[in-house]
Amino acid sequence: MEFGIWNLIFGNMHLKFKADKLFDGYRFLEDDKVLITSTTGVVQDIVSLSEAGDDVQHFKGILLPGLINCHCHLELSHLKDIIPPHTGLIEFLCSVVTKRGFSPDTIQAEIIKAEKEMFDNGIIAVGDIGNTADTADVKSNSSIHWQNFVEVLSFTDAKAEENYNNYKNVAEKLEAALAASIISHRTTLVPHAPYSISPKTFELINEATRGQVISIHNQEHPAEDELYKTGGGEYLKLFKIFGLDKSPFPVTGVSSIRSVLPYFFHGQTIFLIHNTSTQEEDIIWANEYAAENGLKLVYCLCINANLYIENKVPPIDLLIKHHCHIVLGTDSYSSNWQLSIAKETEAIHKYFPHIPIETILQWATINGAKALRWDDEIGSFEPWKKPGVTLVDPSFQTSKRIL
DSSP string, 61-94: EEEEEPEEEEEE-GGGGGGTTTSPTT--HHHHHH
Same domain, 159 and 303: yes
pLDDT of residue 380: 98
- What is the Cα–Cα distance from 268 to 210, expressed in whole angstroms? 6
What's the residue count for the chain?
A: 403
**Ordered strands of the 14-22 beta sheet:** 43-48, 33-38, 14-22, 56-65, 389-392, 399-401
- What mean pLDDT comes out for the span 210-215? 98
- What is the Cα–Cα distance from 234 to 296, expressed in whole angstroms? 31
Question: pLDDT exceeding 90 applies to what percent of the chain?
Answer: 95
- Ordered alpha helix ranges (H), 261-302: 280-292
**Domain containing residue 322: CATH number:** 3.20.20.140
pLDDT digits (tens, 9 = 90+) for 310-344: 999 999 999 999 999 999 999 999 999 999 999 99
- Phi, psi torsion values for 168, nearest 5 degrees: -60, -40
Same domain, 43 and 99: no
Q: Do 214 and 269 meet the contact criterion of CB atoms below 8 Å apart?
A: yes
Q: Do 313 and 88 meet the contact criterion of CB atoms below 8 Å apart?
A: no
Same domain, 45 and 148: no
Helix or strand or coil: residue 212? coil
**Ordered strands of the 213-218 beta sheet:** 213-218, 269-274, 296-301, 325-328
pLDDT of residue 99: 86
pLDDT digits (tens, 9 = 90+) for 154-192: 999 999 999 999 999 999 999 999 999 999 999 999 999
Residue type, 143: S
Residue 9 pLDDT more than 60?
no
Same domain, 292 and 336: yes
Asked whether the CA dihedral 285, 223, 151, 70 is positive or negative, the reply is: negative
Same domain, 177 and 200: yes
Same domain, 275 and 174: yes
pLDDT of residue 2: 52
pLDDT of residue 1: 44
Residue 50 pLDDT more than 70?
yes
Residue 7 pLDDT more than 80?
no
pLDDT of residue 153: 96
- What is the Cα–Cα distance from 56 to 114, expressed in whole angstroms? 32
pLDDT digits (tens, 9 = 90+) for 251-278: 999 999 999 999 999 999 999 999 999 9
pLDDT of residue 176: 96
Higher per-residue pLDDT: 363 or 100 = 363
Which residues, 6 or more positions from 236, have their beta carbon under 8 angstroms from its beta carbon? 246, 247
The per-residue b/e assignment along 74-85, b for 16 or more CB within 10 angstroms, e otherwise, is: bbbbbbbeebee
- Which residue range(s) make up the domain with 8? 1-65+380-403
Same domain, 396 and 346: no
pLDDT of residue 8: 46
Residue type, 261: L
Task: Name the domain count of the chain.
Answer: 2
**Domain containing residue 396: CATH number:** 2.30.40.10
- What mean pLDDT comes out for the span 55-81? 97
Same domain, 96 and 239: yes
For the entire predicted model, the pTM comes to: 0.96
Q: Is 373 left (phi over 0), alpha (psi -120 to 50) or beta?
A: left
- What is the Cα–Cα distance from 184 to 262, expressed in whole angstroms? 30
Question: pLDDT exceeding 70 applies to what percent of the chain?
Answer: 97
- What mean pLDDT comes out for the span 131-148? 97
Same domain, 97 and 245: yes
pLDDT of residue 97: 86
Same domain, 22 and 152: no
pLDDT band at 48 (very low <50, low <70, confident <90, very high): very high
Same domain, 319 and 189: yes
**In whole numbers, what is the pLDDT of the chain averaged over residues?**
95
CA angle 28, 213, 311 (to 5 degrees): 65
Same domain, 189 and 223: yes
Of residues 83, 118, 68, the one with CA closest to residue 336: 83
